[in-house]
Amino acid sequence: DRLHEEEKTGTRICQKLKQSSLPSPPEEPPSPSPTSVEKMFGGKIVTRIRCLRCLNVSSREEAFTDLSLAFPPTERCRRRRLGSVMLPAEDIGGREP
């Protein structure tokens, strides 16, 4: 019936007007400029996983910061540490046995 259709159309128009009068979502603030560390050691990594059944591939991109540090083998560290800690008793004001 025509009256029912006009009522539905009027309802849709009212809903559209309400939606258009709502405030729009706030824009995201501009991202800060990258730091020196981020510029030198930062990047983006893409991880891709493929399903072996359907062969669908899903991807995910992530930001990362990588700073590689080299440490000497553990045994060398222990020897150096012990060597630098041991002092003759007379240098620290103690008595020799």
Bridge-based pairing of strands 42-50 and 57-65 is antiparallel
The domains of the chain are located at: 35-65
Give CA–CA dist 34/66, Å, rounded. Answer: 14
Give CA–CA dist 34/62, Å, rounded. Answer: 15
Structure tokens at 25: 């979502």
- Scanning the structure block, which residue is given the tokens 């893409």? 46
pTM tops 0.75? no
Count the neighbouring beta carbons within 10 Å of the beta carbon of residue 38: 14
Per-residue pLDDT reduced to its tens digit, 45-83: 899 999 999 999 999 998 888 877 777 777 766 666 555
